[in-house]
A and B are shown apart, each in its own frame.
Chain A
Amino acid sequence: MDGSGIRQALSIMNERGSGEGAGYVAYGIYPDYRDCYALHVFLDHACESKAAVDATLEQWGAIEHDEAIPTCDQPNFRAACTPWRYFFKPDPSLAPGSATPEKDIITNLVMQINASPDGTEVISSGKNVGVFKAGGAGSWPETVADYYRIEDYEGYIWLAHNRYATSCPERWERPDPFNLHDWSIVENGKTTTYGANRRYIESFGYNCSTGTDSEVIAYTIDFLVRRHGLEIDLAIRALAPPYWDEIDRMPEAEQKLNRALRFAYGPATMNGPFTVVAANPDMMVGFTDRGKLRPMVVGECGDRLYIASEETAIRTMEPGVESITRPGAGEPVIGRVAP
C-alpha cells in the first residue's frame, strides 16, 4: 500500500483535529536498508545538531547512509526543523550481556539524544520503518502527507494520527505516531495516569522527554514485550486490565493469571479514556480503556485489517469493506502479518 489511501482516510476525519499536527508511520518502506535501523531525526539546526548526532551515533555503531528526508514545500505551512534520516548499524559488542543488544543500544541512543538540549529529536528508530510527522499552524493531515510525499512510500502497515492540539501546538515531535525501534503508537485520548505510568517506566531506564501518553505507551509495550517477555495480549491486559469483579468470576487459573498481572503491572495500568493502535513489524493491535470511553471501529477485507476512530475512514480506504465491527470495552484486536 502506498500512503495515498491513509492520507485520504485521515483527511476525511479532519473535524477531529485542529490542523496543528498530523503524522504517519509505515512499515516496509526501506527494503534497500532492511538490516539497518532507520533513524528519523528532527534537527533544529542542520549543521550543529547534526554534527552532534553524527558523533553520538559513530560511538555506538556505523552510519551506513544518511540524507535529508525528501520534502515538498506546502502553502501556508512552515518547516520548523530539518527532517533527516540515518541508516544505522549498532555494534552489538557494545552491549554485552543483553539478549537484544542492538535494541538496547538503539533505546539508549534515543533516550540520550532526546533528553539532550541539542535541538534534536529522534522520532523513529526501527528497521524498515519510518515516522513522518509535523506540527504547527497549517499541519492538516493532507498537508503533512504532501509535505513528506508519503504517496511515494510503499508499506505493509500504516498508522496515522490527526492531532487536536492542547499544548505546544508548534512542536513537531508532539503529534503521534510515536515510535521506538519495533513499536509505533497512535493514541486517541488522554490518560489520567500519565505521571504514575511515567514514573514506573522511567524506573527501568526509559526517559520520557516529550510528555505525551504515546511515548510512555511505546516504552511500556517495549518493556513488557521485549524485556519481560509478555505475549502481546498479556501486555495489553497489563495496560488495560479487567475489573476485579470480572476477575472474581473467572475460572481459577485465569483468575490467578489476571490477578498476577494486576499485582505485577498495576503501576503500568493506564486509566482514563484512550484508544491505542500499536504496530510492530509483525502485527497491528488496537485496544481501548476498559470502559471504552473512546471509539474504535474495526474493518476487515480479505487479508487487510483496518482500525479507526470512525467507520468513514475505513470506507474511504476500502469502499467494499467486508465486515465492520465495534469491539467491546477492553477487548483487544490483534492482527498478525501473514508469514
Chain B
Amino acid sequence: MSSNIGSMPLRYRVTIDRERCMECGRCIENCSYGVFRWDGDRILINSRNCTACHRCLAYCPRDAIMLEEHPCDYRSHPVWSRQVRESIYNQARTGKIILAGMGSVADLPIIFDHLMLDACQVTTPPTDPLREPVELRTYLGKKPSRLDFARKPNGDIEVSTELAPNLMLETPIMLGHMSYGAISLNAHLAMARAAKETGTYMGTGEGGLHPGLYPYQDRMIVQVASGRFGVNVDYLERGAAIELKLGQGAKPGIGGHLPGEKVSADVSRTRMIPEGSDAISPAPHHDVYGIEDLPQLVNSVKEATGWKKPVFAKIAAVNNNAENVAAIARSGVDAVAIDGFRGGTGAAPRVFRDHVGIPIEVAIATADRELRKQGLRNEVSLIACGSIRESADVVKAIALGADAVYIGTAALVAMGCRVCGNCYQGVCSWGIATQRPNLVARLDPDVASKQVANLIHAWTLEITELMGAAGINSIESLRGNRDRLRGYMLDEGLLEILDVKSVGA
C-alpha cells in the first residue's frame, strides 16, 4: 500500500571526492548495504542505503569518501524531534513495531561519567603495580557465610565447610552473551580464543554451542533462555557455567527475536530450529511463572550436570531490581548478571530499548545494598552489564558492588564494529552480526581474537593502575568500596540511592 508521506530527508549523505578517487571499486566490494554500484566506469552512490557502518571509509585507499550525518534536517523543534517524526511516518506507513539494533540512543545522563575515582596521596601511599602485586583474580559463585573447622590428630586445622563451585577469572571482565545467530561464528571464535588467552569466560547467548567452539568449552558460559534453543544435556555439560536468561536490559519484559534472514543452515542446526524461520523466544520461561518455580529450574539444571557447575541468572534492571535479585539469591543461583537499560541487542523494539529499565549503576548499587541488608550477599556474585565502555566503568561498577562485568558492545567494537545499529538487518559489513558466508569471511578469527584479547589486557592494566593508585591490591577490597567514589553533579536523591558521597565530602 502506498502512502502520501514520500521519502524522508537523507539520514546520511555519502560523497566521493572524484579528484582523489582512483575508481578501484573497493567501496563497491565492501559495502553490503548497496550504497555503491558501477555505472559503466563510474561509481554511483545511493546514500539512502547507507547505515554509517564506515566499511567504505575504512577500506578506501585514497580517503576519497566522505560521510555526512543529517545533511538536511527537519525544521528544528524541541518536542517534535527528528526521531519522533520519523517514527510516526514509519508507523503510519507500516502499522508495525519499530525494530532497532545496539543499545539505547536515549540522550540521558550517564551516571558512570558523574562518578569520580579516588587516589591516595600522603596519608596513605599509593601501591605501585610495577613493584607490588595487585590482584585482579576474581571468583564468581557462592561464598560461605562462615566456616567450620576440624582439627586433625597432628594438630593441623582443616576446613570442613565444602566450598560451592566457583569460576576463577584472571580479570573481572567477561565477554557477555551474544548468540551464534545474532553474531557470526567467526565473531564467536574470536571471543572464545580471547577468553582463553586472557583467563576469562564468554557467554554463548541463547543460540546453542557450535561444534567449532567445543575446543574452548571450558571458557564458555552456556545460556538457557526462554526459547531453550540449542539446549540439551550435552550442551549443559560442555559449559564451565550455565546461565539462565530471565531478562535482557535492551528489552526488559519481552523475549528474544532472531530474524529468519540470519537463520542459516549452521545456525539452524546449532539452535535446533528450522532454517530461515524467525527464532522468537517467549517473554517468560514457561516453567517459571513465579519466583518459587525458579529453584526447581535451577535444581534441575544442577542435577543434570552433577552439581559441579555454577548457575547464573541474568535479569534486566527494572524498578524492583533489588527485590528480584534478593529473590534469586534464595533460589540456589550462584551469580546474578544485571543488565542495565543501556544494554545492547541485535534486535529490540525501539520503544523498549529506549524507555524501559533503569541504569546499571543504580541497579548494582541497590542490589548490593539489599543483599547485604538481608544477609544474602555471599549467596550470589553480582555481574554488571549493559554499556560497560571502558576500564573506569569496570572499576566504578565494582566499587558500587559488582563482582565482575560482562562486556558486549565493547568487544564487538574491538572487532571493528562501528555501532551503526543495523545488526537486525543481517548484512553486517564487518562480518560480525551476519551469517552471510562472504561477509563472515571478512572477520579473521585470529586477527579479531587478538584485538579482543588486547582490549581485555589493556583494560586489565588500567584497572591495575587505578587500584594501585587507590592503594587497593585485591578485587575484594574494591568491591562495594563506595567510599572510594565521589559523585560529581549528581542530585542528593541519587547520591543517597548509590550510597556515594558528593565530591568534596
Q: Give the total of A residues in contact with B, Cβ under 8 Å.
A: 38
Tell me how far the C-beta of A41 lies from the nearest C-beta in chain B, rounded to whole angstroms: 29
Contact in complex: A193, B139 (CB < 8 Å): no
Chain A nearest CB: distance from B133 CB in Å?
5
Chain A interface residues (CB < 8 Å from chain B):
166, 189-196, 199, 203, 228-231, 234, 243-245, 253, 256-257, 259-264, 266-267, 269-273, 290-291, 293
Using A253-B156, A293-B125 as known contacts, say yes or no to A263 and B480 having CB atoms under 8 A apart. Answer: no
Contacting pair A291 B132 (CB below 8 A): yes
List of B residues within 8 angstroms of A272 by Cβ: 120, 124, 471-472
Residues A267 and B163 in contact, CB atoms below 8 Å apart: no
Contact with A along B135-171 (1 / 0, CB 8 A): 1010100011111010000001111010100100000
A244 close to B135 (CB less than 8 A): yes
Of the listed residues A190, A244, A263, the one surrounded by the most CB atoms of chain B closer than 10 A to its CB is: A263
A129 to B337, CA, bound (A): 49
Of all chain B residues, which has the CB nearest A189?
B124
* B123 and A257 contact, CB distance less than 8 A: no
Could you list 10 further interchain pairs (A-B, Cβ under 8 angstroms) beyond the known A260-B161, A263-B143? A193-B477, A195-B481, A244-B135, A256-B158, A257-B158, A269-B474, A270-B477, A271-B471, A272-B120, A291-B127
- B145 x A245 contact (CB < 8 A): no
Q: Could you list some 14 contacts between A and B, CB below 8 A?
A: A192-B120, A193-B472, A195-B480, A195-B482, A196-B480, A228-B147, A260-B144, A262-B476, A263-B144, A264-B378, A266-B474, A271-B477, A272-B472, A291-B127
Interface residues of B in 228-258 (CB under 8 A from A): none
| Cβ distance A17 to chain B, nearest Cβ, rounded Å | 14
For residue A231, which residues in chain B have a CB less than 8 angstroms away from its CB? Answer: 149, 157
Report yes or no: B483 in contact with A194, Cβ–Cβ below 8 A. yes
Does B269 touch A at the CB level, under 8 Å?
no
Which residues on A sit within 8 Å (CB–CB) of B478? 196
Whole-angstrom distance between the alpha carbons of A264 and B479 in the complex?
14
CA distance A291 to B378 in the complex (A): 27
- CB-CB < 8 A to A293: which residues of B? 125
Taken together as a complex, chains A and B put the C-alpha atoms of A192 and B484 apart, in Å, by 8
Give the chain B neighbours of A269 by CB distance below 8 A: 474, 476-477
Closest 8 A-B residue pairs measured CB to CB? A195-B483, A266-B476, A192-B471, A271-B477, A196-B481, A263-B143, A260-B159, A193-B477
A193 vs B135: C-alpha distance when bound (angstroms):
15
A193-B481, A244-B137 given; A263·B471 CB < 8 A:
no
CB distance B124 to A266 under 8 Å? no
> Pick the contact of B471 from A253, A257, A266, A273 — CB < 8 Å?
A273
Q: Are A271 and B120 in contact (CB under 8 A)?
A: no
Q: What is the chain B residue whose CB lies nearest that of A224?
A: B146
Identify A263's interface contact among B127, B139, B483, CB under 8 A.
B139
CA distance A194 to B123 in the complex (A): 14
